[in-house]
Amino acid sequence: MTHKEILLIGDIGGTNARFALADNEQPGFSHDMTLQCADFAAADLAIKHYLSAIGAASPDVICLAAAGPVVEGRVRFTNNPWSIAAAELGNQFSTPKLRLLNDFEAIAYSFPYLTGKDRLPIGPSKRAPVDAAHYTVGILGPGTGLGAVGLRKHGDLLIPIAGEASHGGFAPESQLQIEMLSALRERYDRVSAERFVSGPGIENIYWAMCRIHAEERPQLTAAEIFDRAADSSDPRAAESVQVFFEILGQVAGDYALALGAMDGIFIAGGIVRRYPELLVNSRFRAGFESKGRYRSLLEQVPTELILHEQPGLLGAAYCALELARS
């Protein structure tokens, strides 16, 4: 690079759009700002607002992580009305170096740069620490939806395995879960894992629990349910959160088996990061290990919570830096 280029990065979900400027020397970022997607009709308007707010010129590189599959250079968001086409966005900002990637693909790229303070163990692990040069891990994150990605590292090669695993069908593992699935089938033609393990998912669980127990309660938001569980003011909310974490563990265990991610499953996302004690003291690990003939294998697999506040931006910063150097 002949001059200090402006590397714009973003992590855009169903609710929030986070922007920052990537460091020019190593994976990192500054000038981060969170905007509400609902406040802007399109992504380019949010980007222009951000650049104006921080007084930055048009970027030389744009790398955006988005909550949806990237198909033929375009992403259509699963949980917000925006659509982004790489070619159109590049033309709008006269930026030849532009990359769109799935938001959890970006989190995967951040993984090698997470430090010990960025991770919190969930339950015991009998496995030796990850070999820094060779590993396969999986990452799951409940938010507006449920994100999922795998990562394989082989020497200097990082290979994210992005997909839409959260939209696989939900498999109940208890009589209560069977009853909840039956209740939710009245709301949805098809019930995927995301219908339980996400912000709207905890609301679905609470609604189903009240229905099963024939209780008339006002519908609560995800934040209200977690807050009431945290301060022990609502037994039904506390029970719903326990079920939420148990199902998250079940889904995480399935994902570990599907990927062969024996080096660890890592949980990301703001919902869980705000309530680490609830997670650590939950039935998450019991759900994770409950795999019948494969229990002994899953008992060996470590599970950890990612505490870094913006792993998606950190991964996007890595990609932007690689793009600038290309």
Q: How many CB atoms neighbour CB 277 within 10 A?
A: 8
For residues 152 and 207, what is the distance between their CA atoms, to the nearest angstrom?
Answer: 38
Strand-pair partners of 161: 150
Is 221:260 a contact under the CB 8 Å cutoff?
no
- Name the phi and psi angles at 232, rounded to 5: 60, 30
pLDDT of residue 127: 65
pLDDT of residue 80: 79
pLDDT of residue 1: 40
Tens-binned pLDDT, residue by residue, of the chain (326 aa):
446 899 999 999 888 999 999 999 999 999 999 999 999 999 999 999 999 999 999 999 999 999 888 889 998 886 778 899 999 999 999 998 999 999 999 999 999 999 989 999 998 766 666 777 899 999 999 988 899 999 999 988 999 998 888 889 999 999 999 999 999 999 999 999 999 999 999 999 999 999 999 998 899 999 999 999 999 999 999 999 999 999 999 999 999 999 999 999 999 988 899 999 999 999 999 999 999 999 999 999 999 999 999 999 999 999 999 999 98
pLDDT of residue 145: 87
pLDDT of residue 315: 97
Question: What pTM does this model have?
Answer: 0.90
pLDDT of residue 129: 63
pLDDT of residue 8: 97
pLDDT of residue 51: 97
Tokens at 300, concatenated: 């060996």
pLDDT of residue 317: 97
pLDDT of residue 77: 80
pLDDT of residue 164: 83
For residues 232 and 238, what is the distance between their CA atoms, to the nearest angstrom?
Answer: 7
Instruction: Give, for 11, the enclosing helix (H) or strand (E).
Output: strand 7-12
